[in-house]
Homo-oligomer: A and B are copies of this chain.
Amino acid sequence: MKIELRHGAGGADTSELIDRVFAKHFSNDVLNRMEDAAVLPRPEGRLALTTDSFVVRPLEFAGGDIGRLSVCGTVNDLCCMGARPRYLTAGFILEEGLESETLGRVVTSMAKTAEEAGVTIVAGDTKVIEGAGGLLINTAGVGTIPEGRDVSAANLRPGDRLILSGTLGEHHAVILSARMGLETSLRSDCAPLTKMAEALFAAGVHVHAMRDVTRGGLATVACELAKASGCSILLREAALPVSEGVRALCGILGLDPLTMGNEGKLFLAVPGAEAERALAAVRSAPYGENAALVGSVAEGSGVVLETAVGGRRVLSPLRGEGLPRIC
């Protein structure tokens, strides 16, 4: 079945679509009530609230799809504030001509990823617009922040050490390859990092700042943290994990892994004395086996890369187009 405009008019056809595609995969006590808003118990602790829209093309790619991405992106933003992800909302904008089978696979993938991430999808919305079979998804996420956690982009301190939870650039490389029609064995790294973040707190690490490395890549994230905290960051190129496949693609196309987006990698700052413990916690968590200590924080400003041959390069945030629609 192809999606038509009538599926978005809010009447009987919309109800049928919701029953057939969404209710089946997202079934839970809250959502099944089909009210105007989900009613949830009073949460423990402070709230974290975030939103992200997903416009990636192609909708399905090696290692993931827009549905898995739409859960991971929002869940990981909550984790980066020290929150335990609890609830998601999902807003679907369908372009007419979308195959309902494609939508069904995406929704199945979202449900599976939500379960892995430990969140419940409690509210949704569906609209249909003119177009060519595309699909846009917005998710908003609510998490709760336990007492004693104070994670912020502004909390870098001189003496902190910096950890990257795995290899750079896979997601970006996969989307780029798919668009260019290149055959590669690369797979997107998109993954929910709930367990990785919780492993850090369970190990008693006082995480100062944490960001997931997405659009703009590590260079952009590092610049944002340095600016927000009024510190400088030194990254060691030789320590940055990059896979052979991404390295090869970057060589051919003249790309820099430092401005390529991931969707399942954390970049975090911890007190120097806790760095080895933090690294062990990240490595023991799912998706963290290639984690590495990649740099340190000092007084000053800006981000400097110590290159593999011993030179020094000042890093800037991504400027210009990059690759649009990677998430």
Residue pair B47, A43 in contact (C-beta under 8 Å) = yes
Q: Which of B40, B93, B224 contacts A46 (CB 8 A)?
A: B40
Q: A140-B140, A321-B5 are in contact. Are A52 and B91 (CB under 8 A)?
A: yes
- 0/1 string, A7-48, CB within 8 A of B gives 1: 011111111000000000000000001111111111111111
Residue pair B319, A11 in contact (C-beta under 8 Å) = yes
Q: A216-B9, A261-B10 are in contact. Are A42 and B35 (CB under 8 A)?
A: no
Residue pair A140, B51 in contact (C-beta under 8 Å) = yes
**In which size bucket is the chain A interface?**
35 or more
A93 to chain B: closest residue by CB:
B53
Q: Which of B37, B50, B90, B324 contacts A48 (CB 8 A)?
A: B37
- Which residues of B sit under 8 angstroms from A35, Cβ to Cβ? 80-81, 152-153
- Which residues of B sit under 8 angstroms from A317, Cβ to Cβ? 11-12, 15
A215 to chain B: closest residue by CB:
B10
Copies in the complex: 2
Residue pair B10, A36 in contact (C-beta under 8 Å) = no
User: In this assembly, does A55 line the interface, its C-beta being within 8 Å of a C-beta of chain B?
Assistant: yes
> In the bound complex, how far is the Cα of B51 from the Cα of A92, in angstroms?
10
- Which residues of B sit under 8 angstroms from A224, Cβ to Cβ? 34
- 0/1 string, A101-114, CB within 8 A of B gives 1: 00000000000000
Q: Which of B11, B40, B91, B92 contacts A320 (CB 8 A)?
A: B11
- 0/1 string, A83-103, CB within 8 A of B gives 1: 100010111110000000000
Residue pair B10, A123 in contact (C-beta under 8 Å) = no
Residue pair B50, A81 in contact (C-beta under 8 Å) = no
> In the bound complex, how far is the Cα of B160 from the Cα of A139, in angstroms?
37
Q: A51-B138, A138-B51, A140-B140 are in contact. Are A321 and B9 (CB under 8 A)?
A: yes
Write 23 A-B pairs (CB below 8 A) sorted by A numbering.
Answer: A5-B324, A6-B320, A6-B324, A8-B324, A9-B216, A10-B322, A11-B317, A15-B317, A36-B77, A36-B81, A37-B50, A37-B83, A39-B48, A40-B48, A49-B87, A49-B122, A49-B123, A51-B90, A53-B92, A91-B138, A91-B140, A93-B93, A138-B140
